[in-house]
Amino acid sequence: MSVPVTLPWSENLLGYDFGVGHPMAPVRLRLTLELLTALGLLDDPAVHLVDAPVADDAALTTVHEAAYVRAVRAASTGTPDRTRGLGTDDDPIFPGMHEASARIVGATLAGARAVWPGGPGGPAHAVSLAGGMHHAMPSRAAGFCVYNDLAAAIAWLLANGCERVLYLDVDAHHGDGVERIFWNDPRVVTLSVHQSGQSLFPGTGFPQDIGSADARGSAINVPLPAGTSDRGWLRAIEAVAGPVVRAFAPQVLVSQHGCDTHARDPLTGLEVSVDGQRAAAQLIAGWAAEHAGGRWLATGGGGYDLVSTVPRAWSHLVAVSLGRPIDPDTEVPAAWQDLARRLTGAEVPTRMGEGRNVDFRPWLDGYDPADPVDRAIMATRRTAFPHHGLEPMTAE
Ligand SMILES: [Zn+2]
């Protein structure tokens, strides 16, 4: 059974381009759209391509300071502001920077409008592939992120009557910007599973970081050791997010699917595969259906293995969102392989998966104190679970 999926898209989203040599090259989005097309997913009558307009200042200033928006506009015409992160190695300035960044916000907002309040009882999904700019702060660009589309979308949901949002971030990096923006807000739980800040940017996101005194438990962080692979990663997502999503019962689930968790990613140290990323999308889809009224807004995020990982990971995400998961043994369409080779000269994948067994040991099977991933899971359950009425030590 297909679920209606809204895909906000505009060719102009490819204008979010920090220039030659920057890891976040727009070809990753182009190749993803081309792979979705080649797989026939965009022909599914349940997929609705909608425009991604440039978000206006009213939308941007729900989460950003007006002075920062002015600084991004100035950066667009050549004036850097390094105190606000504009004109750094991570976030170089470029012509049209404001419009390109605000268009990503417009895309994710279009996704939010599609899932909330949603149809009469039926599920409604959206995937904002260009979105996921989780490091952007209220007054500062950071980590390739200028405007925080995720936070703007969540703010829109709250302003339009939604009372509980679960934000689940499975990017390799800590979702620090979204966490910061909703740190004091008990209506939003931000849950980030990431490579530990001890070994990766932005250096934050530890188990004791659980939200302000007025909103204890509204932030949840699972820092995993470098080298964590599919089974440990999926076990951590399930052992922490599973009970929280059941207890919190969000009205909308917002998830960020940065695929820089992949072993081939040049910027990070996790060892996840495309099969693991596909399995995470399936876990999250199940939670959206069972505990969030079928209202699910997913975004892209990081992902710097541009040709082999990003297009496959996010095509699986769209297919899972649609309720038409793609078998990992499926051949990558030859026309796409040719295009990807021609555009990038890189080695291209020939199958949609990587042949990994991603059956992970469920938390139910018990805690192993000798396993560093289990210790990370338990540290987070101990600090965060009591604030959600959950027992850290029980199997559930
Ligand atoms: Zn990332």
Residue 361 pLDDT grade (very low, low, confident, very high; cuts 50, 70, 90): very high
pLDDT exceeds cutoff 70 at 62: yes
Residues 190-200 have a mean pLDDT of 98
Give the residue among 385, 391, 380, 382 at the shortest CA–CA distance from 206: 380
Q: 170 CA to middle of ligand 1, Å? A: 9
**What pLDDT, on the 0 to 100 scale, is given for residue 120?**
66
Q: 395 CA to middle of ligand 1, Å? A: 30
Q: 155 CA to middle of ligand 1, Å? A: 22
Residues 352-379 have a mean pLDDT of 96
Residues 57-66 have a mean pLDDT of 98
Question: Residues 113, 304, 233, 227: what is their CA dihedral angle, to the nearest 10 degrees?
Answer: -160
Answer whether 0.95 is exceeded by the pTM.
Answer: yes
Residue 119 backbone zone (phi > 0: left; psi -120 to 50: alpha; other: beta): beta
Q: How many helices (H) and strands (E) does the chain have?
A: 11, 8
**What pLDDT, on the 0 to 100 scale, is given for residue 84?**
98
* 15: DSSP letter: G
Q: 178 CA to middle of ligand 1, Å? A: 13
Q: 169 CA to middle of ligand 1, Å? A: 10
* 388: DSSP letter: G
* 104: DSSP letter: H
Residues 248-272 have a mean pLDDT of 98
**What pLDDT, on the 0 to 100 scale, is given for residue 122?**
75
Domains, the chain, in order of start with CATH, read 5-388 (3.40.800.20)
Q: 260 CA to middle of ligand 1, Å? A: 6
Catalytic residue numbers, as ranges = 135
pLDDT cut 70: percent of the chain above it? 98
Give the residue among 129, 31, 148, 38 at the shortest CA–CA distance from 85: 148
Give the residue among 332, 323, 300, 352 at the shortest CA–CA distance from 44: 323
Residues 4-10 have a mean pLDDT of 98
Q: 258 CA to middle of ligand 1, Å? A: 6
Q: 394 CA to middle of ligand 1, Å? A: 31
